[in-house]
Every structure is written in structure tokens, then in C-alpha cells.
Structure 1
Amino acid sequence: MGEMIAVYDRAGRPIGAEERSVVYAEGLWHASAGVLVRSGDGERLYVHRRTETKAVFAGMHDCLAGGVVGPGEDPLTAAVRELGEELGIEIDENEDGPLPLASASWDGEWAGRPMRCHLFAYELRYDGPIRHQIEEIAAGWWWTDTELRARLSDPTWPFVPDTRVLISDMLG
């Protein structure tokens, strides 16, 4: 049996669980959570490029460390888990964890199939070390909001489409 993830209804309520492959193949509503990592002074944000071996949005750029929400998991817990896995940033979500930043729903398409996802974004101010998970992150760097906006102004620049839905609420 494959990895199980939470299945949501159109309104954003968890209603069960299903294998990730089934969720993607059938375009079931699910949720993802991610963290925008900003420097302590808030002047820069961390942008990364996904590996070419990722199942979804391979090789594309993103500014959220994140992933899908598991069964029984709330989005903040998923975001903190993914932050640790992808960027090696270990935090306590209750004490110094990420703060809510934006949320939206994305009803789009990926690889010719429908993809429906409720998106939850958080922000963390952080100046410590970053350690990439080599299976998921190919490279990363710090940019200003202006630098990211300049790249995003090119619609052909490979940036994950679900984060594009949230980007205007995330950049200063």
C-alpha cells in the first residue's frame, strides 16, 4: 500500500484518507502546507529548486518548504514537519513556530489530470543553517521580494503553480 494522505471536501474539511497515487490520479481534494522562510530582518526569502525526480512539479522553483497533509494531521503540523524534512529547520510549532500567512484553494491541472488542493502557507523568520533533503531540493538561495517578483513576471519561468496562487499574499 502507498503513502496515505488526507482527503478533503471542496469546502476544505477533512473527510478521510486515500493513497497519494489515487488522490493524484483521480484529482481528489487534498491539502498541502508550506512555510515561507524569511531572514530574521525580513529582507530576504529562501527560494529553492525541486529535484527532477519529484513526482509533482519536478524541477520547478518554489519559495515554500512544504508538502501534503497526512491523515489526522493539521496543516501547521504538516508545515513544521516538511520544514524539518526539506530544509533541515527544526522548530517547536508551539513556541517559535511559523505564523499563518495565506490560504487559498487551487483547482488546476498537472500532467493532464485535475489537481485540487487546499493550500496553507506560513511564515518563519530564520537566520540559522539550512540543510537540503537531497531527494527533494536540488538547490536553494536567498532573494529579495523584488528579485522573486522579477522572475515571476516571466510566465514561462518554472515556478510551482499552487504557490503562484498564494504569491501575491506572501510578498511585501
Structure 2
Amino acid sequence: MSAADEILDIVDENDNVIGQSPRGEAYAEGLRHRCVFIQARDGEGRIFVHRRTPTKLVFPSLYDMFVGGVVGAGESYDEAALREAEEELGVSGLPRPEYLFKFLYDDGAGRTWWSSVYKVRCDLPVSPQADEVAWHDFLPEDEVLRRLTEWEWVPDGMDAYERLRAYRLRR
């Protein structure tokens, strides 16, 4: 099954399931669905950063400081966070990602999804999926901040990152 055929729960503005749709159709029609964003850090506190492959359905070839993806039909955010983190990092045996907060991403141009943000520590050697990740590294946060103006980043990840920075300031 291709990524475009994966079945997603379609949700309303309150994150209640109102239907299901194949992923490709959900993207094409701008149907609101669910996603997870997991910030992975290594034992030194560096952030896993990667550039998406040009074949990705959404935001191809852009940089991202989160691993994650869509929540499958009937799957919980927590289940999706662990599955996506292990898949994208190419590891097994990660600790369960820690839930931080949820927000509604909406770019005003038909891309909208409920987004749950998590964090996880990854001390395992990573081996990201070649069909998803074109380049990767663990970078110190000050370098990530410098790269924000130099690299083109996924817009939903940037929104999640700004919200994560604000969340940390409140704690």
C-alpha cells in the first residue's frame, strides 16, 4: 500500500472523528486529519534534524526538526508518536515519547491538521528510512536556531517549534 492509500480519520475543528479517507484524498481535498510531531534529542541534548526526500507527499525536500507523520485511522496519538519516531529514526526500543501539547495547524490554503507534539530521548544509533530522509544529523539547538534563516523548513514544523519554545517558557 502506498502512503497515499493509507486510511486516516477525518476530524472536525474539535478533533472529533467525522469520517475516514485515504491520505492522498485527504491532502487533495484539504480534509482535516491528525498528525504527530516528535522532537528527538540525543544524550547530549542535540536535536535530530533532517531534510525530507523529494518524493514526500507534503513539503518535499524541506528541512524538519521533528520526526512524525499522520495518525492512522483508529490509532491514538500516543501509538502514532512511538510508531512514527521509531520508523523515521530507524530504531526499535525507543522509550514512549512524552506528550507535551496539541494544537490545530491551518495554513489557510487547505492544509489543516490537529497536531500533537511530543519529545523523546534517542540514545540509539539511528538509521532513517532512505525513502523519507535525504539527510540527517543531531545538531545543537544554537545551530538549529542559526539555520532557521538559512534553510527552508517545513511550515507546520516551524509552527510546532515556535509553540514548543513558548511552551517551554511557560514552564
TM-score category by the smaller chain?
A: 0.7 to 0.9
Larger mean Cα displacement after TM superposition, 142-151 or 124-133? 142-151
Pairing 1:166–2:160 present = yes
Aligned ranges 1:149-160 → 2 under 5 Å:
149-152=145-148, 154=149, 157-160=151-154
CA displacement 1:117-167 (0-9 Å, x = unmatched): 111111111211101101100110111221112222x2x731111111111
CA displacement 1:23-61 (0-9 Å, x = unmatched): 1111111110121111124x2111001001111100011
Question: In the comparison of the two structures, how many residue pairs are matched?
Answer: 163
CA distance in 2 between counterparts of 1:90 and 1:13 reads: 31
TM-fit CA distance, 1:77: 0.7
SS at match of 2:131: coil
Q: Which residue number corresponds to residue 137 of structure 1?
A: 133
CA contact (8 A) 1:104 1:165 kept: no
| Paired letter, 2:96 | G
CA distance in 1 between counterparts of 2:119 and 2:157 reads: 13
CA distance in 1 between counterparts of 2:56 and 2:10 reads: 21
RMSD over aligned CA atoms reads 1.8
CA distance in 2 between counterparts of 1:118 and 1:126 reads: 25
SS at match of 1:165: helix
Aligned ranges 1:104-143 → 2 under 5 Å:
104-108=103-107, 113-143=109-139
Pairing 1:3–2:6 present = yes
Aligned ranges 1:23-172 → 2 under 5 Å:
23-41=26-44, 43-91=45-93, 96-108=95-107, 113-152=109-148, 154=149, 157-171=151-165
CA distance in 2 between counterparts of 1:104 and 1:149 reads: 22
TM-fit CA distance, 1:19: 1.1
SS at match of 1:83: helix
CA contact (8 A) 1:102 1:169 kept: no
CA distance in 1 between counterparts of 2:15 and 2:93 reads: 26
CA distance in 1 between counterparts of 2:127 and 2:31 reads: 32
TM-fit CA distance, 1:8: 0.9
Give me the TM-score of the superposition, normalised by structure 1.
0.87
List alignment gaps of at least 5 residues for structure 1. Answer: none
Larger proportion of helix: 2
Give me the TM-score of the superposition, normalised by structure 2.
0.87
Match of 1:15 among 8, 15, 18: 18
